[in-house]
Amino acid sequence: MGSTFHFPTRLVFSNSAAADLLQELHHFESPKVIFLTDTGIVHAGLIDPFIQAIRADGIPVETFCDIPGNPNVQDVLPAFDAAKQMGASVVVGLGGGSVIDTAKAVGILLAHPDIDWEDLQWGRVKLQRPSVPVIAIPTTAGTGSEVTKVTVIGDRTGFKKGVLHPFVFTRTAIIDGSLTISLPPKLTAATGMDALVHAIEAYTGKRASAMTDIFALSAIRSIVRWLPEATFNGTNLRARQAMSEAAAIAGIAFDQSGLALAHAIGGPLTAKYHLHHGLGVSVLLPATLAFNCSAIPEDRWEPLRQALSLPAGAEPTSLPEWSKAFITALNMPVKLSEVGLQEEDIKEIAEGTTRMAMFANNCRPAAVEELVALLEENL
Ligand SMILES: [Fe+2]
């Protein structure tokens, strides 16, 4: 099978996101902006410079701030209604992955006002036309949602099912690390580890290509260098900007090449125990690297070794120990029992793993019994 690389989003690496947003809005004829965010962002005061700049420019703007974490379709519809009522022609999402996924869903719904979201999720209908333009401004450095062609919204029962289509790509992503400065160390570490796992899985997964390698290796190099600094010295703007850029670059890589075993196990694990996504995939990294390290071809190992800054001569078998040390230094757990995994749930999680889309992309095939052993060994 060949590979395709398609990335239409305009990426702005910014040191003044409000000014850059205004510049983006000037590309449109008479824009009307629906500005989506969450209450945490409002309370942190992050929204104010954006709204002031838009209003001062005379551009009509309405805000909708009631987007919860892990939104379901019933959380998206009020945002869509607000956008429809004002006749929005541009959607701006300022926030983490939940806000940006909602902004992407609202953009799609504005272009397809009569469509039922669940019909889209389950493939009963297809997208007919591109989304209304969406501008994503991330306030965390991890999910990569600002650069991916998927939006993951829960259905009416809360079951998470992504809508994946090239029409879902944002028009512009504005990457400004200063917006992440108020993130506490725990969240900085967990979201940053999510980005690292994206990059590692993009590189080691079966669908990696010459193009995605460039992005994945660059992101790995940067995250290994800057994540500890961003976590423990959060006001270091250079570290924050490097992490925000690396998370977007890792997002571009995995969007094109797919993810692998840590995310496949991470799906059922985080759902079962209501874990933070980044914490879930991070704690699974050492175990999945231990499982996969023998399947990394020799010619693919050397660039990865260099990106990780491992010493010359280090072998892929050093990956589990390296990752444990890196994660421990971030004050994050490396044992599955520390995130609540119960022995009696292991079989169910192993079976759930095999139903995840990214499972087939792992470089080494895994039988359910092997997954059970992997989870038991890392309890
Ligand atoms: Fe992830």
Query: Which letter, b or e, does each residue of 278-309 get, where b requires 16 or more Cβ atoms within 10 Å of its Cβ?
Result: bbbbbbbbbbbbbbbbeebeeebbeebbebbe
Res. 1: pLDDT tops 80: no
- 229 has pLDDT over 90: yes
33-36: strand order across its sheet: 10-13, 172-175, 134-138, 90-95, 33-36, 61-64
Average pLDDT over every residue of 350-376: 97
Structure token pair of residue 285: 């990294």
Distance 259 CA to ligand 1 centre (A): 8
Q: How far is the CA of 306 from the centre of ligand 1 (A)?
A: 23
Dihedral class, residue 63 (left if φ above 0, else alpha if ψ from -120 to 50, else beta) = beta
Whole-number pLDDT of residue 18: 98
What spacing in Å lies between the alpha carbon of 56 and ligand 1's midpoint?
37
Ligand 1 center to 58 CA (angstroms): 38
CA dihedral over 129, 38, 92, 6, signed as positive or negative = negative
Q: Which pLDDT score is estimated for 160?
A: 86
| Residue range 219-236: mean pLDDT, rounded | 98
Q: How far is the CA of 308 from the centre of ligand 1 (A)?
A: 19
pLDDT tens digits for range 207-226: 999 999 999 999 999 999 99
* pLDDT tens column, 272-327: 999 999 999 999 999 999 999 999 999 999 999 999 999 999 999 999 999 999 99
Q: Residue 202 C-alpha to ligand 1 middle, in angstroms? A: 11
Q: How far is the CA of 83 from the centre of ligand 1 (A)?
A: 28
Q: In this predicted model, what pLDDT tens digit does every residue of 59-93 receive, in sequence order?
A: 999 999 999 999 999 999 999 999 999 999 999 99
Q: DSSP string spanning 326-345?
A: HHHHTT---SGGGGT--GGG
Centre of ligand 1 to C-alpha 195, Å, is: 7
Does the structure show a pLDDT above 80 at 183?
yes
What pLDDT does 2 receive?
Answer: 82
pLDDT the model gives residue 158: 85
Phi/psi-derived region of residue 238, left when phi > 0, alpha when psi is between -120 and 50, beta in every other case: alpha
What's the gap in Å between 194 CA and the centre of ligand 1?
A: 5
Helices (H), 170-236: 185-204, 210-232
- Cα(268) to centroid(ligand 1), Å: 13
Dihedral sign for Cα atoms in the order 75, 83, 161, 265: negative
Give the Å distance between the CA of 53 and the centre of ligand 1: 33
Distance 263 CA to ligand 1 centre (A): 6
pLDDT band at residue 39 under the 50/70/90 scheme:
very high
Q: How far from each other are the two terminal CA atoms of the chain, in whole angstroms? A: 37
- Kindly give the distance from the C-alpha atom of residue 281 to the centroid of ligand 1, in angstroms, as a whole number: 7
271 CA to centre of ligand 1 in angstroms = 13
* pLDDT score at 80: 98
Using an 8 Å Cβ cutoff, are 107 and 171 in contact?
A: no
The answer to whether 286 and 378 are in contact (CB under 8 A) is yes
**C-alpha 45 to ligand 1 mean position (Å):** 27
Question: pLDDT digits over 120-148, tens only?
Answer: 999 999 999 999 999 999 999 999 999 99
- Distance from residue 293's CA to the centre of ligand 1 (Å): 20
The first and second tokens of residue 104, run together, are 């992407």
Q: Please provide the DSSP assignment of 69-127 as one string.
A: SS-BHHHHHHHHHHHHHHT-SEEEEEESHHHHHHHHHHHHHHHSTT--HHHHHTTSS--
Å from CA of 61 to ligand 1 middle: 32
The count of residues in the chain is 379
For the record, the structure tokens of 89 come out as: 């022609």
- For residue 280, report the distance from its CA to the centre of ligand 1, in Å: 9
* Residue linked to tokens 């995250």: 223
Give Rg (Cα) of the chain: 20
* 359: DSSP letter: G
172, pLDDT greater than 70 = yes
Spatial distance between the Cα atoms of 86 and 199, rounded to a whole number of angstroms: 39
Q: How far is the CA of 199 from the centre of ligand 1 (A)?
A: 10
Three-state SS for 185? helix
| Per-residue confidence (pLDDT) for residue 141, from 0 to 100 | 98
The whole-angstrom separation of Cα 114 and Cα 120 is 11
- The Å distance, Cα 347 to ligand 1 centre, comes to 23
Mean predicted confidence (pLDDT) in 26-35: 98
**What does the pLDDT average to over 14-19?**
97
For residue 198, report the distance from its CA to the centre of ligand 1, in Å.
6
Q: At what angle do helices 237-257 and 210-232 cross, to 10 degrees?
A: 150
Whole-angstrom distance, CA of residue 379 vs CA of residue 253: 30
